[in-house]
Amino acid sequence: MRQLKIAIAGAGIAGLTAARALQTFGFRPIVYEQAASLGEVGAGLTVSPNATHVLNALGMEGVLERLGMRPNRGGVKHWQTGELMVEISRGNEMLEKYGAAYYQIHRADLHRELADLVVTTDPDAIRPGHAFRSVEEHNGALTIHFENGTTASADVLIGADGVRSRVRAALFGEQTPRFTGYVAYRGLVPMANLPDGVVDPTSCLSTGPGRSFTRYLVRGGTLVNFVGLTERDDWREEGWSIRATVEEMLREYEGWYEDVRTIIRSAPPEGLFKWALFDREPLPNWTRGAVTLIGDAAHPMLPFLGQGAAMGIEDGMVIGRAFSAADSIGEALRRYQEARLPRANWVMLESRKTALNYHSGREENFRPGKHVSAESLGLMSYNPAAVPV
């Protein structure tokens, strides 16, 4: 099994975690990435204890401590008054309760460090400039075709190519995603540009009718990461690099308490982005032959529970363990899917429900003991390095 040629399409968080996990178990996976180079993109991500277990086990504990933020206090505020309706503690309690900490980190920092770890183990492990186009199987061997005209042979292909996965389309056909009516704005504001007291508590969700606004610190507390989730129907485009303007976002947050508007107003114009949120239906199966899916390619989800990256990280560890424990490709992929599919699909559906809850404008949803979150749903007590596979 250790001699298997395992190809991974997509060097995002899920693909790189899978590569690192497979390396840890003695495999030599090759990751094919469409981008010409792995650059700095994205903003903040949540790494909750269920994902921290994985990154710790893969040698990333020091990275999380160095580059991630552990918010001590968090909370939920009222959209109009700014009243703190729910207080949440995310400090040492997380470590005590779950055996792993809760971090908020810039996606680019986590991504870069994971990639460095993978190429330190095998300098040839990541091949940029290789966009997956198609795959064919002949007598148990896979031939992968890339958009640059080259091919690669492999025994297994793991599709980790994100929300618009070509591998998923190759396996199960093109599916038309449904526009959810939600549009997300995201930005990063230097803390130094903000007046004192605006970022208190350091991690905060504010909710109101048809809107929410989440913000937290990244990069040693020097940057405030925010994501504003709104509802509109006059614009719909899916992508991570579509510019938005401060004026349009302020219009969306008309009538909101001043701290939210101050943060929006302080966003550097070149650093404000928007994307429309599309939804895919959960798949009943992720695998065909020796090809399977992980991360957003398998289970893209709305961001309301902050579990998109965590689910991809969980997949990465479990697929590594499945290959380590199995005697054949079929057995490895079966073990992986059985361990992961029910949980990931459930989180997809809970993320949809949470969207309705957060935007309901019903204050009774945001009282102590009533607030729905990844923690209240029990998601954080899962340890992918230890669950049965």
Using CB under 6 A as the criterion, which residues of the chain lie in contact with ligand FAD when the complex forms?
9-15, 32-35, 41-43, 45, 107, 131-132, 160-163, 166, 186, 240, 295-297, 303, 308-309, 312
CA separation for the pair 78, 150 (Å, rounded): 54
Residue 369 Cβ vs ligand FAD, minimum distance, rounded to whole Å: 27
CA separation for the pair 321, 269 (Å, rounded): 44
216, 253, 336, 358: the active-site residue:
216
**Residue whose entry in the numeric block shows the structure tokens 């997300």:** 184
Nearest CA to 305 out of 350, 273, 244 is that of: 350
288: DSSP letter: B
CA separation for the pair 71, 206 (Å, rounded): 16
Minimum CB distance to ligand FAD smaller for 239 or for 330: 239
Residue 363 Cβ vs ligand FAD, minimum distance, rounded to whole Å: 27
Residue 81 Cβ vs ligand FAD, minimum distance, rounded to whole Å: 28
Residue 246 has φ and ψ, to the nearest 5°, of -60, -40
Residue 362 Cβ vs ligand FAD, minimum distance, rounded to whole Å: 26
Minimum CB distance to ligand FAD smaller for 68 or for 303: 303
Minimum CB distance to ligand FAD smaller for 55 or for 163: 163
Residue 171 has φ and ψ, to the nearest 5°, of -80, -45
SS3 150: coil
Minimum CB distance to ligand FAD smaller for 8 or for 322: 8
Minimum CB distance to ligand FAD smaller for 305 or for 329: 305
216 in active site = yes
Two structure tokens written together for 239: 């992508």
Please identify the residue of the shown chain whose CB is closest to the bound ligand FAD.
12
**Contacting residues for 332 by C-beta, under 8 A, at least 6 apart:** 1, 156, 319, 322, 323, 325, 326
Minimum CB distance to ligand FAD smaller for 32 or for 79: 32
CA separation for the pair 123, 129 (Å, rounded): 16
Residue 271 Cβ vs ligand FAD, minimum distance, rounded to whole Å: 11
SS3 239: coil
| Residues 213, 205 contacting (CB under 8 angstroms) | yes
CA separation for the pair 32, 100 (Å, rounded): 31
Q: Which residues are catalytic?
A: 216
